[in-house]
Structure 1
Amino acid sequence: MCIFCKIINKEIPAYIVYEDDFVIAILDIYPMAKGHTLVIPKKHVTRLKELSEEEAKKLFAGLKKVIEKIEKISPDYNIIINQGPKAGQEIDHLHIHIIPRTGEEKIFYNIRHKLTEEEAKEVLEKLNG
């Protein structure tokens, strides 16, 4: 059983921000910023695509309620869903990060580049081919 399932089943403690029948939201124990919160579906799935449309609606309804709480810390925040280990997903249970931003954080360095026409064509071919 994964650590999130143990938290959901109240087998291990967590700092609960919000909970309803479908989701639990907890403070991240390794926060990137003060108030970094994880919104977790109680159903054990690894990826967002594994949820039904109705379940996804419930997850995002819970996310919206947690955002209202996060905005008490800052009106600015990141919402991140890591899907798979190469994308940074460390726990094999779907979860959404909400990271309040005050401007004092030293995260998310700018590593972007201008999209070239060649790159765009290659990506579109994979997505639409």
Structure 2
Amino acid sequence: MECLFCRIAAAELPAYRVYEDDDAVAFLDTRPLFPGHTLVLPRRHIETLTDLPAAGVGPFFARVQEIAGAVERGMAAAGTFVAMNNRISQSVPHLHVHVVPRNRKDGLRGFFWPRTTYRDEAHAEETADRVRSALSG
């Protein structure tokens, strides 16, 4: 196995595990935004969200939901930031969700990239049409 996360899931590499079952593994990120920052991943090697079989989406995100609640309670956090990268900025090519404890005025500012706007309503509608078309195609 060459995938770092597959090796962690198989217990070939150490990690500070917080949860595991037949389908998912969760462990502390080694470079956390805040203490308690946890990664949740499918035990099987799946690279991106679009590769996750439809039957696995519900069970996997049930685990993410469970971990998000545990991070909030365990870290006495007011909430969590739950995010995933899909190919771009995905440092390990194995599907994983970041669950980061959050508190007001913790220094984390929204998303980590600049926000933008649509040029006008026509641009927004054209963009929505492109996504809708891709859903039906």
Contact 1:24 1:41 in 2 (8 A): yes
1:51 maps to which residue? 52
Q: Spell out, residue by residue over 1:11-33, the C-alpha distance to the aligned partner (whole angstroms, 9 max, x if none).
A: 11000011111000010001112
Query: How far apart are the structure 2 equivalents of 1:9 and 1:43?
Result: 10
What letter corresponds to residue 107 of structure 2 in structure 1?
E
TM-score (norm 1): 0.87
Measure the CA separation in 2 of the matches of 1:43 and 1:61: 16
- 1:79 maps to what in 2? 82
Task: Tell me the alpha carbon deviations over residues 102-122 of structure 1, each in whole angstroms, 9 at most, x when there is no partner.
Answer: 232345357323433133023
Percent sequence identity over aligned pairs: 33
- Note closer, same or farther for the CA distance 1:109–1:8 as it changes in structure 2 (3 Å cut): closer
Q: Aligned to 1:71, what secondary structure does the other structure show?
A: helix
Structure 1: distance between partners of 2:129 and 2:30: 41
What is the Cα-based RMSD across aligned positions, in Å? Answer: 1.7
Matches within 5 A, 1:15-54: 15-54=16-55
Distance 1:128 1:95 in 2: 26
Query: What corresponds to 1:11 in structure 2?
Result: 12
- Report what 1:121 is aligned to: 125
Does the 8 Å CA contact 1:32/1:99 hold for their aligned counterparts?
yes
Q: After the TM superposition, which of the residue ranges 7-16 and 70-79 deviates more from structure 2? A: 70-79
Q: Could you list the runs of 5+ residues in structure 2 that have no partner in the other structure?
A: none
The Cα shift of 1:59 comes to 0.6
Aligned length: 127
Letter in 2 for 1:128: R
2:67 is matched with which residue?
Answer: 66
- TM-score norm. by structure 2 comes to 0.83
Correspondent of 1:105 among 101, 104, 107 = 107
